[in-house]
Structure 1
Amino acid sequence: LVPLAIPIYKKIVTYFPQNYVKFSFAYGSGVFPQGGVKLEEKPMIDMIFAVDDSENFHIQNLRMNPSHYSFLQYLGHEFITAMQEKWPARVYFNTLIPLEEEGIVVKYGVVNQEDLIDDLYDWNYLYLSGRLHKPVKFIEPPVGNMKTALRQNLSSALHAALIMLPEKFTLRNLFMEVADLSYNGDFRMIYGEDKNKVSNIVEQQIPEFCKLYCPLLESLHDVVHIPDKEAPDKLCNQDISPRNRMYHLFQLPKIPQKALIKHWQFHVSWRRKDSEDVLKNMACDPDIGQILSNCLKMVVLKSSIEQSLKGLFTAGFKKSLQYSNKKITRMVKAREND
């Protein structure tokens, strides 16, 4: 799916309880170059550890790295595990962690592998699943159910993007739409993120996006025509007939489908109808792309607010303030460069 990590990332993982980590990846501007403002300091490296036993991971990590945790460490591993697994988006972050021997700063999230798989399939939160719509660097590569779920997540993102795109588009448009799925609605984009973040991500990583999505596009050759995978600005076209829109709608994850059905029941007909019939009717709506975008926006808005509130506790007030200041500084510098 994506390139394996170079040795530095493998080395970083040795600072943590590796025996519980079944899948891990690094992402963000500290891993992949992004356009826009260049900061003087090195960007923080973001990492996710999908573990098979969250409680024992935290028990061991509290022994190895107690300084990584906020005041919550004094409430014990059971409280930390409960906060991770019961609060959206089922991930526990420790941020602004200096690894002085390596000369880097990291932020790492811990998630139960089953919770991650559920989000990849259903888009319950579009949080970690949204990050995995974009290029990441595998450290501990996925196997089995995780590998299947990751591929399904990419396929779902492609179907969603095609619904929201017009008949004619470019690969660059497609990748922008995919990258925006998990940013559209994120309340942090209002004050704490560069407004050009999505384009900055895509512009520098078009070959990586192509590696992720072009093989999936080939399986849709009957409905999507891509004349040249090496030409991101060459015009492509898709069949936007209701029949094909319906096909894309049926491939969406459970949560977006439920949201679409609720929208139809509220705005069109309150009468209970079979879900399949509702989606068939919605496929004929010329505004289905915007309707889907609005539905996904609400999922992202909710999870971004909940995860940020959770971060006040997991990071602590001081680190939360530092982290927010870094984001705002980056946003201001980016606007100055516009």
Structure 2
Amino acid sequence: MSRLRPLTRIPWGRRPLLYSNRRYASSQASQSTLSSSNQSFPPDWEDAPPSLSDFTELPHKDFGKNQLMETNEEFKRSLRGILREFPPITYAFAYGSGVFPQSDATASRVAHSPHPNPPEAILKWQKGGGKMIDFILATRFSEHFHSLNLRQHRDHYSFLGRLGSGVVSHVQEAYGAGVYFNPYISVNGTLIKYGVVNVETLRRDLSDWDTLYFAGRLQKPVKILFEEPNIRVANQRNLLSAVRCSLLLLPQTFSEKELYSTITGLSYQGDPRMTYGSENPKKIDNIVTHQIKNFRLLYHDLIMSLPNISYADEKPLQNLSWMEDPKLDLKLSQDMDVERRANMVRRLPKSFRERVYFLYQRKFGIPGREYQEMLEASKDEDAKGGLKKQVGGAFDKRIAAEKDLPEQVAKAINQTVKWPASVESMKGILTAGPARAWRYLQEKRAKGRIKS
């Protein structure tokens, strides 16, 4: 396996750090355990994402550690033990209600555990073992992975497996979001569903929001099990983009839970499972309510790093146990200045930003040639192949001044999510096979009928 090209410049991790966030500096003494994490954001980290060869070249030794959600060690070992039954992978995470509960009584709603013979650690973590566990496995060479996996686990695949790894990888990458799911698979006595994605597809979605399929999953608390430094950087950009996009959807003042609910809901807008009753209608509220601590761990330092958002009252933050309090719902406010909002529009992920631009091109009636020139001027890359400083231009400011910006951003989200999510739902008939696809649909519809 070839290594990534090493850096030719001074790695971020060895640069002197500059701290420019005055709000954070003022509360630094009272939040010593948070300070080192917040200091892990050098001012230029977004504008110069490198090609990293290892974790020592990250912008800071603590960079991205907000992504690493805690579970007990036994559960983590059990999940990693499952992944060791597969061919080598580059990056992997477990997600969903089988990893982080979305209700007070996850296990009590299930008559019996779906796992045939799971490790004790999984039974304890799930309080009875009542949920299938979902994984995303990222590999550099999908066809090679499927070739090895077909030899080792032919029973994981539908009839497509008989056609070989070339057909399987083509179906994975050519349609929908670029993932191939195998559901209802028993590994180490545990029932799992796993999706295989190419590392570059994952990185691109995190950076550009091509589909929001993977970016949306990683905007919520997940358990990362195997890491890759470039994906950690790309996901940090994804998380910060989720905050900025949500701010464009929210009013001047809002609560923590409103912010986290908006972030959680980004990837569900346009998802046919939500539209046609295949998900619990209270899914977003359940996720945020029961994972508020993890959302704070994931996003608090990113919030503090932004100059245009602040907590209305920072006194509760002086108590180092505030993150543990599920009843606390702090108020926040954002600066609605047009220039600041224009900068947020400019810093939206590339593919998604272009969708917003296109909506306003039609609204403003901008001629095609003029619009193409504007797009060229707003490219992220400079003439030398580096990244420009992303500052809102005249078009961004014009967009930011429009009162319908939240509606247009929501429309762009819907357009981003709807088609790939719909195709992935239909693709499941081929990848899972009709029987398993029908079983999965019926279980999702049963969840959709849950009213509370």
TM-score interval for Structure 1 and Structure 2 normalised by the shorter chain: over 0.9
Which whole-Å CA distance do the structure 1 matches of 2:175 and 2:402 have between them?
A: 36
1:187 counterpart = 2:253:
no
Q: Which letter does structure 2 place at the counterpart of 1:75?
A: L
What is the aligned partner in structure 1 of residue 68 from structure 2? 2
Q: Which letter does structure 1 place at the counterpart of 2:402?
A: D
- 1:106-185 equivalent positions in 2, closer than 5 A: 106-140=192-226, 142-185=227-270
1:205 counterpart = 2:291:
yes
Q: State the secondary structure of the residue aligned to 1:285.
A: coil
What is the aligned partner in structure 2 of residue 285 from structure 1? 402
Q: State the secondary structure of the residue aligned to 2:212.
A: coil
1:244-276 deviation line (CA, Å, top 9, x unaligned): 111111110112211111111112223234244
* Contact 1:134 1:179 (8 Å CA) reproduced: yes
What is the aligned partner in structure 2 of residue 253 from structure 1? 349
- 1:1-338 equivalent positions in 2, closer than 5 A: 1-3=67-69, 6-17=76-87, 19=88, 21-35=89-103, 38=106, 39-40=109-110, 41=113, 42-99=130-187, 101-102=188-189, 104-140=190-226, 142-189=227-274, 190-220=276-306, 222-226=307-311, 227-228=313-314, 229=317, 230=322, 232-271=328-367, 272-273=370-371, 274-275=374-375, 276-332=393-449, 334-335=450-451, 338=452
* Contact 1:4 1:138 (8 Å CA) reproduced: no
Q: Which letter does structure 2 place at the counterpart of 1:2?
A: L
Which whole-Å CA distance do the structure 2 matches of 1:81 and 1:281 have between them?
A: 43
Q: What displacement does 1:330 show?
A: 1.8
* Contact 1:223 1:244 (8 Å CA) reproduced: yes
* Contact 1:30 1:43 (8 Å CA) reproduced: yes
Q: State the secondary structure of the residue aligned to 1:181.
A: helix
1:74-112 deviation line (CA, Å, top 9, x unaligned): 11110001111222201111011123x43x210001111
1:52-89 deviation line (CA, Å, top 9, x unaligned): 12111111110111110000011111000111122220
Which whole-Å CA distance do the structure 2 matches of 1:208 and 1:69 have between them?
A: 34
Which whole-Å CA distance do the structure 1 matches of 2:104 and 2:362 have between them?
A: 41
* Contact 1:264 1:278 (8 Å CA) reproduced: no
* Contact 2:176 2:421 (8 Å CA) reproduced: no
Which whole-Å CA distance do the structure 1 matches of 2:433 and 2:277 have between them?
A: 20
1:208-250 deviation line (CA, Å, top 9, x unaligned): 1111111111111x31111345374222111111111111111
Which whole-Å CA distance do the structure 1 matches of 2:357 and 2:200 have between them?
A: 27
Which whole-Å CA distance do the structure 2 matches of 1:91 and 1:234 have between them?
A: 37
Question: 194-203 vs 28-37, which deviates more?
Answer: 28-37
| Structure 1 residues 165 and 238: CA distance shift in structure 2, 3 A | same
Q: State the secondary structure of the residue aligned to 1:182.
A: helix
Q: State the secondary structure of the residue aligned to 2:68.
A: coil
Q: State the secondary structure of the residue aligned to 2:412.
A: helix
In structure 2, stretches of 5+ residues that fail to align are: 1-66, 114-129, 376-392
Q: Which has the larger radius of gyration?
A: 2
Of all paired residues, the percent bearing the same amino acid is: 34
Q: State the secondary structure of the residue aligned to 1:191.
A: coil
Q: What displacement does 1:36 show?
A: 7.1
Q: Highest relative contact order (Cα 8 Å, sep 6+), 1 or 2? A: 1
| Structure 1 residues 4 and 91: CA distance shift in structure 2, 3 A | farther
Which whole-Å CA distance do the structure 1 matches of 2:446 and 2:104 have between them?
A: 13
- TM-score normalised per structure 2: 0.70
In structure 1, stretches of 5+ residues that fail to align are: none
| Structure 1 residues 294 and 36: CA distance shift in structure 2, 3 A | farther
Question: 282-291 vs 21-30, which deviates more?
Answer: 282-291
Which whole-Å CA distance do the structure 1 matches of 2:297 and 2:234 have between them?
A: 17
Q: What displacement does 1:3 show?
A: 2.4
1:181-231 deviation line (CA, Å, top 9, x unaligned): 0011111112210111111111111111111111111111x3111134537
Question: 42-51 vs 1-10, which deviates more?
Answer: 1-10
Q: Which letter does structure 1 place at the counterpart of 2:101?
A: P
- TM-score normalised per structure 1: 0.93
Q: State the secondary structure of the residue aligned to 2:269.
A: coil
Q: Which letter does structure 2 place at the counterpart of 1:243?
A: E
1:8-45 deviation line (CA, Å, top 9, x unaligned): 1011112211x2x0110000000001027743141110
Q: Which letter does structure 1 place at the counterpart of 2:345?
A: L
Which whole-Å CA distance do the structure 1 matches of 2:199 and 2:341 have between them?
A: 32
